[in-house]
A and B are shown apart, each in its own frame.
Chain A
Amino acid sequence: DSGVTQTPKHLITATGQRVTLRCSPRSGDLSVYWYQQSLDQGLQFLIQYYNGEERAKGNILERFSAQQFPDLHSELNLSSLELGDSALYFCASSFGTVQNTIYFGEGSWLTVV
């Protein structure tokens, strides 16, 4: 058990819809990272938050947004969903701003139909 909690574990939704994925980091960790793993692209970094502030951005689409709340949990919002957004979305956390030690959540499987 990594200590990183993600919900929901599985989600099926229709094209055009909006979903929210939630992540609770390990106790004491201040950074939260979001990753997307699709069949054809492998793992890709989306975005990082550190202590409530956006820290780094990767290949995140404009239809996607994230935030980190005062209790340090984070949400990834995916809107105007397309079939190609079907993927496994991982959250990870670390204490500092650099991901020297990786703790991943179990992932949220998103299927867009």
Chain B
Amino acid sequence: KNEVEQSPQNLTAQEGEFITINCSYSVGISALHWLQQHPGGGIVSLFMLSSGKKKHGRLIATINIQEKHSSLHITASHPRDSAVYICAVLSYNTDKLIFGTGTRLQVFP
């Protein structure tokens, strides 16, 4: 079993829909990152969380440390949100990043 699991693996949506991507992890963590990877390959950090909730524009990320779970929400989705979203946790014991396998999102107009 992977230490970081994401769901769903693939997601399609119509423009304007509310989207949720989930991440569960089994290790102790210092922080959790949500990353966005566009088709060209580049990776951008969206959020770093250690507790609670963060919001940036139409993106909201939450984390529940007790339940070892995080969610990334996209409100009013747009075709330019189409990308792979990757959850990565910073292991408390090893100080190394462990990555989920990513969620491929396609938003259609």
A interface with B by C-beta (< 8 Å)? 2, 33, 42-45, 48, 56, 58, 88, 90, 97-104, 106-107, 109
Contacts and interface: CB of A to CB of B under 8 A. Distances in A.
4 tightest A-B CB contacts, nearest first:
A43-B99, A104-B43, A42-B101, A102-B45
By size class, the interface of chain B is 20 to 34
Q: Is the interface of B mostly helix, strand, loop or mixed?
A: strand
A34 B94 CA distance: 16
Given A48-B96, A99-B95, A109-B41, 18 more contacts: A42-B86, A42-B99, A42-B100, A43-B86, A56-B94, A56-B95, A56-B96, A58-B96, A88-B41, A99-B97, A102-B33, A102-B45, A102-B48, A102-B88, A103-B45, A104-B44, A106-B41, A106-B42
Interface string B21-58: 00000000011010100001111110010000000000
A36 to B, nearest CB: 11
Contacts of B100: 42
Contact of B43 (A90, A98, A109): A90
A100 B47 CA distance: 11
A104 B42 CA distance: 8
Given A100-B90, A101-B45, A106-B41, A42 B102 contact: yes
